[in-house]
Structure 1
Amino acid sequence: MPKRILQGTVVSDKNDKTVVVKVERRFAHPMFQKIVRRSKKYKAHDEKNAYKTGDAVSIQECAPISKDKRWTVVTE
Structure 2
Amino acid sequence: MAEKAKKGIKRFVGIVVSDKMDKTVVVAVERLKMHPIYKKYIKRRKKFMAHDEENACRVGDKVLIEETRPLSRHKRWRVKSIIERAKVLDKGTEEKAQEEA
TM-score of the two chains, using structure 1 as the length reference: 0.95
Q: Percent identity?
A: 50
- Between 1 and 2, higher relative CO (CA 8 Å, sep ≥ 6) is seen in 1
What is the aligned residue count?
A: 76
Greater gyration radius: 2
Q: Where does the alignment leave 5 or more consecutive residues of structure 1 unmatched?
A: none
Q: Residue in 2 aligned with 1:67?
A: 73
1:21 aligns with 2:23: no
Whole-angstrom distance in 1 between the partners of 2:33 and 2:26: 23
Runs of 4 or more above 3 Å deviation: none
Root mean square deviation of aligned Cα: 0.9
Q: Residue in 1 aligned with 2:99?
A: none
User: Quick one: which amino acid aligns to residue 40 of structure 1?
Assistant: K
More strand by proportion, 1 or 2?
1
